[in-house]
Amino acid sequence: MTDSVALRRALDTVIDPELRRPITELGMVESAQLNDGTAQVKVLLTIAGCPMRSTIESDVTTAVAAVAGVQQVEVTLGVMDPHQRAELRDRLKAKRMVFSDPDSLTRIIAVASGKGGVGKSSVTANLAAAMAANGLKVGLIDADVHGFSIPSLMGITQPPTRVDEMILPPVAHGVKVISIGMFLDSNQPVIWRGPMLHRALEQFLTDVYFSDLDVLLLDLPPGTGDMAISVSQLLPNSELLVITTPQSTATQVAERAGTIALQTKQKVIGVVENMSYLSLPDGSKMEIFGTGGGQRLSESLSSQLQYSVPLLAQLPLEEAVRVGSDQGVPVVLSTPESPVAQSLRELAIKLGQRPRGLAGRSLPMSF
Ligand SMILES: Nc1ncnc2c1ncn2[C@@H]1O[C@H](COP(=O)(O)OP(=O)(O)OP(=O)(O)O)[C@@H](O)[C@H]1O
């Protein structure tokens, strides 16, 4: 093998942190040569202020340093010119997933709740992180535009990178994440009406480069509003997972969020009861929000939708969930041995296991 082939092979192992593809395949390696034991590599970044420049530089150095005969590595970073960027964009476009395509094999799970504050976003962030830890390619759209919290739950502070009109989602804990919160200057409230919400979701689905995904999770706003309807229109293949607490008022509202599936023709894959109990030091369980809400919701949705909507998990109340959220590390990663993390991981396995396929898909409908 010649020196330059050996260097290219090594560079094939360097994955762009945002695009998740080898930098060689993305046209980012302008040159690579070995001169008297010094490997000289020129890498072209997509944009000048690329937030991942130091990661790319160090990954290139590590990969090339391992090649036989290399004693020293010199990495030069340049920036793609408009023509090179257009080429990259076309290459990515050709491989882009169209999630609304009936042939798409990505499993799309929209996480819904009736009331706010039942832990929908926490459950969604944890499922995404657990699925990614299990080796699945996972995307997460924060569609809770009025109460977006996913970026902070996932510990994301950097904005998405733009390559012309294409948006590269930040990757956190192995999950590609996009949220309206990443496009706002401050923590200002979003006062958008239905058509703008629809447009925002549409833009996330068309302009954000997710590449190939096994699972796409959406954190819906609480209730049965416009976003839920937009999701069903733009992603007719999406399924619903309904989160509730054991409390009857929460369950009643969650039932309305679940039965929206009757109109949208989405499948409700199950119910998750969160905040089911608090384990006390003496081993007893304190049922702060009452009991049986998840089971009742599962039964009533099963009877109204006329198929089984199982209660998939009952998650305890644990301080570690809140602490993990505050630190931007989902509890499945921060405290994996805790009972709540174990239940969430089991739930992620159940949901991630179903093979990607087309069976049982409903046809798109319009309103
Ligand atoms: N199992 C749990 N144990 C302890 N705290 C929890 C648990 N689940 C959620 N929480 C905490 O409850 C609060 C509300 O959770 P979260 O933001 O996930 O709810 P939500 O349903 O997404 O709310 P909204 O839709 O209004 O944004 C957060 O402070 C979160 O850390």
Closest CA to 123 of 286, 271, 306: 271
Domain boundaries, the chain: 3-95, 107-353
Summarize pLDDT for 56-72 with one digit per residue, the tens.
Answer: 999 999 999 999 999 99
ipTM for the assembly: 0.98
Beta bridge partners of 138: 175, 215
- Assess whether the C-beta atom of 273 lies below 6 angstroms from ligand 1: no
Q: Is 36 left (phi over 0), alpha (psi -120 to 50) or beta?
A: left
The pairs formed by 130-133 with CB atoms below 8 angstroms and a separation of 24 or more are 130/330, 130/332, 130/344, 130/345, 130/347, 130/348, 130/349, 131/214, 131/215, 131/348, 131/351, 131/352, 132/173, 132/174, 132/175, 133/173, 133/174, 133/332, 133/333
Q: pLDDT tier at 138 (50, 70, 90 boundaries)?
A: very high
- Counting from 1 in the atom list of ligand 1, the atom nearest the Cα of 324 is 31
Q: Assess whether the C-beta atom of 117 lies below 6 angstroms from ligand 1.
A: yes
Sheet strands (E) in the chain: 29-35, 38-45, 72-79, 107-113, 138-142, 161-163, 166-168, 171-172, 175-179, 215-219, 239-244, 267-273, 278-279, 285-286, 311-314
Nearest-CA neighbor of 75 among 59, 65, 55, 61?
61
- Give the position of tokens 């200002």: 188
pLDDT score of 38 more than 80: yes
Q: Which segments are annotated as binding site?
A: 114-121
DSSP 8-state symbol, 208: B
Q: DSSP letters of 87-152?
A: HHHHHHHHH---TTSTT---EEEEEEESSTTSSHHHHHHHHHHHHHHTT--EEEEE--TTS--HHH
Among the residue ranges 255-264, 315-324, 350-359, the one predicted with the least confidence is 350-359
Ligand 1 in contact with 144 (CB < 6 A)? yes
The better pLDDT of the pair 170, 49 is held by 170
Q: Say if ligand 1 is within 6 A of residue 325 CB.
A: yes
Tokens 């199982």, residue located: 310
What number does the ligand 1 atom closest to the CA of 113 have? 21
What confidence category does residue 227 fall into, taking pLDDT thresholds of 50, 70 and 90? confident
Position 355 pLDDT exceeds 60: no
Cα–Cα distance, 173 to 326 (Å, whole number): 15
Confirm or reject: Cβ of 119 under 6 Å from ligand 1: yes
Ligand 1 atom nearest to CA at 317: 3
Distance 140 CA to ligand 1 centre (A): 17
Q: Which CATH superfamily is domain 107-353 in?
A: P-loop containing nucleotide triphosphate hydrolases (3.40.50.300)
Total Cβ atoms within 10 A of residue 128: 32
The pLDDT of residue 287 is 93
pLDDT the model gives residue 93: 74
The chain-wide mean pLDDT, for the chain, equals 87
Q: Please, which pLDDT band fits residue 325 given cuts at 50, 70 and 90?
A: very high
What is the pLDDT, as a whole number, of residue 263?
Answer: 84
What's the average model confidence in pLDDT over 73-84?
Answer: 93
Q: Calculate mean pLDDT across residues 26-45.
A: 93
Binding site for ATP: residue ranges?
A: 114-121
Is domain 3-95 in CATH 3.30.300.130, yes or no?
A: yes
Q: Which residue has the higher pLDDT, 196 or 24?
A: 24
Is the CB of 274 inside a 6 Å radius of any atom of ligand 1? yes
Neighbours of 319 (CB within 10 A): 12
Q: Please, is 267 exposed, middle or buried when counting C-beta atoms within 10 Å of its C-beta (0-12, 13-18, 19+)?
A: middle
| 207-224 mean pLDDT | 88
Q: Determine the average pLDDT of the residues in 124-130.
A: 98
pLDDT band at 182 (very low <50, low <70, confident <90, very high): confident
